[in-house]
Amino acid sequence: MSSSSPTKAAHEHAVLLNSIADGANQYPKPEHVNYTYGTAGFRTLATKLPSVLFRVGLLAVLRSKRLEGATIGIMVTASHNPEPDNGVKLVDPSGEMLDPSWEPHATTLSNCPSTESLISTFTTLANHLRVDLHQPANIVYARDTRPSGPELIKALETGLRVFGDSVKINDLGVTTTPILHYVVKATNDKTAEYGVPTKEGYNAKMAKAFTTLIGNKGPLAPLYVDCANGVGAVALKDFTDALGDLLPVHPLNTATTTQGALNHMCGADFVKTKQALPPSVHSSGVLSKPGSRACSFDGDADRIVFYYLNEEKANFRLLDGDKIAVMVAMFLVDLVVKAKLDEEHRLKVGVVQTAYANGSSTKYLTSRNIPVTCVSTGVKHLHHAAQRYDIGVYFEANGHGTVLFSDSAIKALKAASPQSPDAANAIKNLLAFSELINQAVGDALSDMLLVEAVLAHRGWGASDWDAGYEDLPNRLVKVEVPDRSIFVATDAERKLTNPPGLQEKIEEVMRKYEMGRSFVRPSGTEDCVRVYAEAKTNSEAENLALAITDLVRFASGQS
Ligand code: G16
């Protein structure tokens, strides 16, 4: 659309509204479904999503036009959810999650019951948000390997195309969520320093940083990677082709086209929740060799957890997001000390966790004077809190996280005059880590390399890493309830304000268990309420989780 006379502009606007109406008629909103832009966008059964995708297309274009044509990302994925689910989330120009102030607009548009109400809400929204519809828009989108992806992409494209030539689209095809975030950030980076905005650019950037960090410490020990039968398998193959044999990677669970295989009995969520090896990894026997370690990605490769078998008893040992955060934060603190930057440029390293962080990890960090912030679940919350540090390490216990280097930290490192070869080396390594680590979002592939690089620098195996602290026994339970919206959490989701009286009951039960801690929160990605419990012993953690689950069931009207 070009800027033109009032009559022509009115005509163009009418044409646009007609195209929206045509598209909306192809993708009517199903009755009796209420959508919410949750922890990580919209997520539900794929069959309920076409109308949402069409409308998300409209919103993404509004956002891009509002930001004078900055590139907005759209990822079609349901990450750790089972295969029949799908979802969609928007990515802001910085590569971060959509600005939370726009989430209600996404919810409102997706719930318009008819084409007429959609048109009128769209018009109101465009005016209210002061969007100049004559501006250009740029959109990049991708999907994971779910079979429902192509149909949903069609609905999305219909939403984007109603704007005609004013919208430029870049279809990345099948790729991981973090690669999409990377491409968005790199595309919008005017300095072109972040990287080349393509999948190849991502692989090249990480391979270069990893090679610098490993130096003559390679080739490293083999690593077994459970790809959750998802898109991580595709990205891992492309990446290892770019990396060469510095890190011998053995992908497992790579059946991306086998129906029902995605996240089924495998993947990071399975391992973390069940606190067990995926049966496929167990039966492959790859961990039976002493010193072997493996890791699991989730369905869209934005989470990772590691594990190994304890040598004496062959017990499963989990190295989750907390263990990654602690090891990485301690390592970066050491590098910062070694870098010996002058007082004025001394870098502050801090860690951001959620209520799910194991109590032992928080204690370990705080007892070593590393500041820890606790925020609500959802990468968007962690990311913003981590930006308050010079080097902000954020990880959810489920393995979702990254490390952010502030612009001033990078500047200070680049401008530093090292006082010794050791200091020069530490500075070089800090800069290489900032290149290796995805600065936009948690990234299983980049985090895998981060962990391997830190282990190589420390000269550690999995058991050395694990030796830092012992997790308190814990349980994570999904409770299905008729209406999870009655559960309202506060205080970084550590307490409930609703249903009335439930929090007091939870605390009363908690007090009966030594080192007992428990909280309840509604999931933002699945139709359930989550109960977390930890206590001094396994049986106490189990009993505490059961007791709180009973309270939740009772409070939601189930006996
Ligand atoms: C998403 C979010 C994570 C969150 C997880 C579970 O992960 O990005 O921050 O921890 O959902 O959220 P909830 O407990 O609200 O369901 P993913 O990997 O599924 O995109």
Q: Residues 178, 301: contact at Cβ < 8 Å?
A: yes
Query: Which atom of ligand 1 lies closest to the CA of 79?
Result: 19
pLDDT of residue 3: 52
Q: Is residue 156, in this structure, part of any structural domain at all?
A: yes
Q: Residues 139, 146: contact at Cβ < 8 Å?
A: no
166 shares a domain with 69? yes
pLDDT of residue 342: 82
Query: Which atom of ligand 1 lies closest to the CA of 43?
Result: 19
484 shares a domain with 410? no
Which of 400, 494, 531 to mutate for ligand 1's pocket (most ligand atoms within 8 Å of CB)? 400
Range of the domain at 533: 474-555
CA distance 439 to 446: 10
Query: Which atom of ligand 1 lies closest to the CA of 528?
Result: 16
Q: How far is the CA of 39 from the centre of ligand 1 (A)?
A: 6
Torsion angle of C-alpha atoms 307, 312, 315, 318, degrees rounded to 10: -30
Q: How far is the CA of 298 from the centre of ligand 1 (A)?
A: 11
CA distance 482 to 48: 19
CA distance 160 to 91: 15
Which of 85, 270, 398 to mutate for ligand 1's pocket (most ligand atoms within 8 Å of CB)? 398
18 shares a domain with 109? yes
The Cα diameter of the chain in Å comes to 81
Q: For 147-163, give the secondary structure using H, E and C.
A: CCHHHHHHHHHHHHHCC
264 shares a domain with 245? yes
Q: Is residue 189, in this structure, part of any structural domain at all?
A: no
Q: Whose CA is closest to atom 1 on ligand 1?
A: 40
Q: How far is the CA of 304 from the centre of ligand 1 (A)?
A: 13
Q: Whose CA is closest to atom 4 on ligand 1?
A: 378
Sheet strand arrangement including 85-91: 42-45, 85-91, 71-76, 137-143, 167-174
| Residues taking part in catalysis | 79
Domain tally, the chain: 4
Q: How far is the CA of 378 from the centre of ligand 1 (A)?
A: 6
Q: Mean pLDDT, consecutive 10-residue segments, the chain of 559 residues?
A: 71 93 98 93 97 98 98 97 97 96 98 98 97 96 98 98 96 98 97 94 96 92 97 97 92 97 98 96 92 96 97 89 98 96 88 97 97 95 96 98 97 94 96 96 97 97 96 96 95 96 97 97 93 97 98 90
Q: Which of 312, 333, 368 is the last residue of a domain?
A: 312
pLDDT of residue 315: 92
Q: Residues lining ligand 1, CB < 6 A?
A: 39-40, 79-80, 298, 302-303, 377-379, 396, 398, 400, 523-526, 530
Q: For 361-397, give the secondary structure using H, E and C.
A: HHHHHHHCCCCEEEECCCHHHHHHHHCCCCEEEEECC
Q: Residues 95, 185: contact at Cβ < 8 Å?
A: yes
Query: Which atom of ligand 1 lies closest to the CA of 524?
Result: 15
pLDDT of residue 559: 67
Q: Is residue 230, in this structure, part of any structural domain at all?
A: yes
**CATH number where 335 lies:** 3.40.120.10
Strands (E), 130-252: 137-143, 167-174, 223-226, 249-252
397 shares a domain with 540? no
pLDDT of residue 160: 98
Q: How far is the CA of 524 from the centre of ligand 1 (A)?
A: 7
pLDDT of residue 2: 47
31 shares a domain with 166? yes
257 shares a domain with 136? no
Tell me the whole-structure pTM to 2 decimals: 0.95
